[in-house]
Amino acid sequence: PSSAYYDFVIVGGGTSGLVVANRLSELNNITVAVIEAGESTLNNFNVSNVMGYSTAFGTQIDWAYQTVNQTYAGGLKQTVRAGKALGGTSTINGMSYTRAEDVQIDNWEAVGNKGWNWKNLFEYYKKSEGFQVPTEDQIADGANYNASYHGMNGPLKVGWPTSMTNSSFFPVLRQTFEKLGVQYNSDANGGKMVGFTVHPDTIDREMNVREDAARAYYWPYEARSNLKIISNTRANKIIWANATQGEAVAVGVEATNAYGTQSIYANKEIILSAGALRSPALLELSGVGNPVILGEYGIPVKVNITTVGENLQDQTNNGLSWEGIDTLTGLATFSILPSVNQLYGNNVTALESYVKSNLITYAKTVSTASNGAVKESDLLEAFNLQYDLIFKSQVPYAEVVFSPGDQSFAVEYWPLLPFSRGSIHIQSANPSVLPAINPNYFMFDQDVEAQVTVAQYIRKALGTAPLNSLVRNEVFPGLDVLPANASSSTWDSWIKANYRTNYHPVGTNSMLPREKGGVVSPELKVYGTKNLRIVDASILPFQLCGHLTSTLYAVAERASDLIKESHLI
């Protein structure tokens, strides 16, 4: 067994972890190590190929986590993809770059996280971004932007693919959705997302490759001698100082690779960035969590925080497809983000009162499912905020994505703010055993109902001119399987038999005041510890309407400044 010493040790060289590694190692008197279970994908075509979405699934760079059987969703397991590579999940994701609704980020501050609001985070979205202004051809195909929303000098290249879906497609979608009452949004990245938009991607347009976290934040800086990447190495747990009083002091990380187990020590801080599905498990393996769960595996309690691993929030995705008339090539980045009023029209009042009257039941059910680890009153506050976002602020209620292809026409969709809540916990004290993931998909009928409404809306849109001129028959599921007048139980079983996760898990180490069930403080410090922080999707207290990476890059940029400030460096 060997050991090594650094100022900062970061666990997880993924989307968020590499931002922090980069910003801390800007200071050449500071040493930084990153422990990453995966390896470099710089020469992996499944990663770099901008048309290669899904080709990395099931390969060695995909953790392919399995959920537990999903009780409310037909009983089967789901595979939750996540990147096991330098760059993390940004190496295998869909590259969509959409931020969040401004009021959603403002809610972070409203619940007690001072300084976390849209205005502050907006500057960090821009700090991370190296926006590539669209070319004339791209503008003709629908790319558009408001310059004041974008950063031009950040490390992360954001722009449109070299080959966008061509010609007439953009005006066809625009005209169709304007008829349905959804207006064109020329740039959804300024905090107002509702509408039809042609969003940018995380792409290096000149090189025509995916821009993942490693390409943006690590490879251009790899020569820094104070930045050490320890790849193909799994972190097992935190090593604590021997104190029995006061805040817990983290001194290092125990990690295992092909050569054995070693201790990697940190003089200043340890930062967990292993993602929403792993950081809570690392806390539990280190004795931070719910004493009942730690007790089951004989792990001594270092810090008692019952909510570690709770508040898991994900979305569910389904798709329909049609026979297409034309062949449309290129990477499509067309999204419709309708509000609840746009989706439900006159039926919205009934829905609104139904949801309102159920919030207490949702809070009770989730609290009970957590064996009381999450308090009903905290859940009720969160559900009320979510209700207000949907019905008062009218944030997007769903995302609908169009992918026209070779005489085929696929449409995927996901309701953005489900009420279901789940958890993730260790199922062994052995760090090589993966945690038990239980998102509780479709815990509430309302989350199924949202799926049905969006699918019916898509059918309506595909039957509306001029979009209807691009398609023939519905191929999947087809009207024979799911007739226009299908009963709600037919819809219910189709949705549960065909859904997949939308791969947006958040919330499992929520940033909230400790008395409201938080795991980390507004400085992203784990409560009860002196020098252990978390920077990744697990700290987002609530689900977002945007895809996650843009916000994670911004959060990690801000977190880096907070870390530097707290050490006066």
Active site residues: 504, 547
Query: Rounded distance, CA 513 to CA 305, Å?
Result: 12
Query: Binding marks (x or -) toward ligand FAD, 489..528, rule CB under 6 A?
Result: --------------xx------------------------
Binding part of the chain for ligand FAD, among 30-38, 156-164, 383-391, 396-404 by CB under 6 A, reads: 30-38
Q: Which of 426, 312, 303 is nearest to 370 (CA)?
A: 312
Binding part of the chain for ligand FAD, among 14-22, 305-313, 465-473, 512-520 by CB under 6 A, reads: 14-22
CA terminus-to-terminus distance, the chain: 32
Residues contacting residue 87 through CB under 8 Å, at least 6 positions apart? 13, 14, 15, 18, 41, 47, 212, 213, 214, 215, 218
Interaction between residue 90 and ligand FAD (CB under 6 A): yes
Query: Rounded distance, CA 536 to CA 528, Å?
Result: 19
The minimum distance between CB 300 and ligand FAD, in angstroms, equals: 20
**Are 460 and 344 in contact, with CB atoms under 8 Å apart?**
no
Q: Which two tokens stand for residue 255?
A: 């990690």
Which 263-292 positions form the footprint of ligand FAD (CB under 6 A)?
Answer: 273-276, 278
Could you tell me whether strands 32-35 and 65-66 are parallel, antiparallel, or unpaired per DSSP bridges? unpaired
Which residue among 8, 9, 10, 14 contacts ligand FAD (CB under 6 A)? 14
Query: Rounded distance, CA 167 to CA 165, Å?
Result: 7
Interaction between residue 36 and ligand FAD (CB under 6 A): yes
The minimum distance between CB 492 and ligand FAD, in angstroms, equals: 26
Interaction between residue 13 and ligand FAD (CB under 6 A): yes
Which residue among 93, 262, 313, 315 contacts ligand FAD (CB under 6 A)? 93
State the DSSP H helix or E strand holding residue 462, giving kind and residue range, or none if neither. Answer: helix 445-462
Q: Which of 420, 416, 418 is nearest to 370 (CA)?
A: 420
Q: Which is nearer to ligand FAD, 37 or 172 (CB)?
A: 37
Interaction between residue 159 and ligand FAD (CB under 6 A): no
Q: Which is nearer to ligand FAD, 385 or 555 (CB)?
A: 555
- Amino acid identity of 69? N
Q: Which is nearer to ligand FAD, 314 or 381 (CB)?
A: 314
Which residue among 92, 214, 512, 554 contacts ligand FAD (CB under 6 A)? 92
The minimum distance between CB 88 and ligand FAD, in angstroms, equals: 2
Binding part of the chain for ligand FAD, among 34-42, 64-72, 290-298, 479-487 by CB under 6 A, reads: 34-42
The minimum distance between CB 339 and ligand FAD, in angstroms, equals: 21
Query: Rounded distance, CA 323 to CA 404, Å?
Result: 10
Which 410-429 positions form the footprint of ligand FAD (CB under 6 A)?
Answer: none
Which 308-327 positions form the footprint of ligand FAD (CB under 6 A)?
Answer: none
Helices (H) and strands (E) counted in the chain, each on its own, are 15, 24
Burial 168-193 (b: 16+ CB within 10 A, else e): ebbebbbebbeebebebbebbbbbeb
The minimum distance between CB 264 and ligand FAD, in angstroms, equals: 11
Q: Which is nearer to ligand FAD, 323 or 561 (CB)?
A: 561
Query: Rounded distance, CA 344 to CA 529, Å?
Result: 47
215: left (phi over 0), alpha (psi -120 to 50) or beta: alpha
Binding part of the chain for ligand FAD, among 90-98, 173-181, 307-315, 463-471 by CB under 6 A, reads: 90-98
Among all residues, whose Cβ is closest to ligand FAD?
14
The minimum distance between CB 324 and ligand FAD, in angstroms, equals: 23
Which residue among 235, 248, 471, 526 contacts ligand FAD (CB under 6 A)? 235
State the DSSP H helix or E strand holding residue 236, giving kind and residue range, or none if neither. Answer: strand 234-240
The minimum distance between CB 421 and ligand FAD, in angstroms, equals: 18
Owner of token pair 């792990």: 299
Query: Rounded distance, CA 435 to CA 424, Å?
Result: 7
Binding part of the chain for ligand FAD, among 165-173, 345-353, 541-549, 561-569 by CB under 6 A, reads: 541-549
- DSSP label of 218: T
Could you tell me whether strands 79-80 and 65-66 are parallel, antiparallel, or unpaired per DSSP bridges? antiparallel
Which residue among 15, 165, 438, 510 contacts ligand FAD (CB under 6 A)? 15
Binding part of the chain for ligand FAD, among 122-130, 137-145, 187-195, 543-551 by CB under 6 A, reads: 543-551
DSSP characters over 156-169: EEEB--SSB--TTH
Interaction between residue 211 and ligand FAD (CB under 6 A): no
**Are 338 and 398 in contact, with CB atoms under 8 Å apart?**
yes
Which residue among 83, 161, 200, 435 contacts ligand FAD (CB under 6 A)? 83
State the DSSP H helix or E strand holding residue 203, giving kind and residue range, or none if neither. Answer: strand 203-204
Q: Which is nearer to ligand FAD, 47 or 452 (CB)?
A: 47
Interaction between residue 404 and ligand FAD (CB under 6 A): no
Which residue among 7, 20, 84, 264 contacts ligand FAD (CB under 6 A)? 84
Stated length of the chain: 569
The minimum distance between CB 276 and ligand FAD, in angstroms, equals: 6
Q: Which two tokens stand for residue 4?
A: 């090594």
3-state secondary structure of 398: strand
Q: Which of 158, 181, 75, 211 is nearest to 394 (CA)?
A: 181
Interaction between residue 238 and ligand FAD (CB under 6 A): no
Q: Which is nearer to ligand FAD, 426 or 548 (CB)?
A: 548
Query: Rounded distance, CA 352 to CA 425, Å?
Result: 34
Q: Which is nearer to ligand FAD, 107 or 202 (CB)?
A: 202
Size of the site for ligand FAD (CB under 6 A): 39
Rule CB under 6 A: which residues touch ligand FAD? 11-16, 35-38, 81-85, 88-90, 92-96, 234-235, 273-276, 278, 503-504, 536-537, 547-550, 552
